[in-house]
Amino acid sequence: MSFYEEIKSNNRMTYFLFIIFFFLIIILGILVSLVTDFYLFVPIFGFIAIVYILVSYYNSDKIVTAISGAKPADEQQFKQLHNIVEEMALASGQPKPKVYVIHDTAINAFATGRNPEHSVICVTTGAVQRLNRAELTGVVAHEMSHIRNRDIKVMTMAAILVGLAVLLSDFMLRMVFWGGVGRGNRSGKGGALFIAALAIGIILAILTPFIAQLIKFAISRKREYLADASAAQLTRYPQGLVGALQKIKNDKEPLEAANKATAHLYIANPLKGQKLWMKSMFSTHPPIEDRIARLQGM
């Protein structure tokens, strides 16, 4: 598959995510209305959801950099980093992203932004200090590839929609367990409908966050492999990224600014030392060993 086809595939994935989560949220909204007897909930929540999605989407770079504690990289202090980003932007045919740094000794990096014209590449000061130029170039090329392949748009929308689904599910469960359910007709057919809606609502409210996260994790892992391959194409030197990944693998220090909401954006899982049940399904990144083996085979 060509890179242009990958871009089209990512665009289709964005629309697919919109449709799936839209219907999931509408179903949950209807169930909340049934069990609370508040039938204006769907239009009110729908309006709030649209505003939430638009604000989050158009301000994703500002939101992520603020959450991560990232600061604009001074061009004099981080001259080499700016030069590398500019080189990779030229190689990929993309405009130069804004360059940010996180003041942390851990080795990591991420890219964010809704499109190439509004993108950000952020690198930790640990990566700047501990990686040689070839390795740092490999890391920047990986993040530039995410921007070129439109991975950022897909993963940004996935994160926004997962967050929205979790908020609605949490609201549903709180209404049920705090006794905020409707007091309408619960006898006969009305009572049966209420009980059915309540049961389905509770099941969906419990399962929705897990299903949404699984979708996001699966997409994230696939895009990491593609970004590695794209980075090797940009630099023509896979060993640069291999060296960086090996150092990241040996770096046991967690990134203090990272959290579960932003972990999927980084080049490697920043939440070190976590033992995950069914790790292959619930991991935001494929194993570093597999990524290194693929790069070395190029």
Exactly one of 6, 117, 143, 289 is catalytic; which is it? 143
CA 223 to chain centre: 11
**Number of alpha helices (DSSP H) and beta strands (DSSP E) in the chain:** 11, 4
Q: Which residues contact 45 (CB under 8 A, 6 or more apart)?
A: 25, 29, 32, 168
Q: Which residues contact 22 (CB under 8 A, 6 or more apart)?
A: none
Residue 289 among the catalytic residues: no
Where do we find the tokens 């709180």?
Answer: 174
Q: Which residues, listed in sequence order, are joined to residue 112 by a DSSP beta bridge?
A: 120
Q: Which of 64, 112, 102 is nearest to 81 (CA)?
A: 102
Residues 84-92: contacts with CB under 8 Å, at least 24 apart: 84/133, 84/136, 84/137, 84/140, 85/121, 85/140, 85/144, 87/137, 88/137, 88/140, 88/141, 88/144, 88/234, 88/235, 89/144, 91/141, 91/144, 91/234, 91/235, 92/144, 92/145, 92/147, 92/148, 92/234
Can you tell me the distance from the alpha carbon of 47 to that of 56, in angstroms, rounded to the nearest whole number?
14
Per DSSP, the three-state class of 247 is helix
Instruction: Please provide the size of the chain in residues.
Output: 298
Catalytic residue list: 143
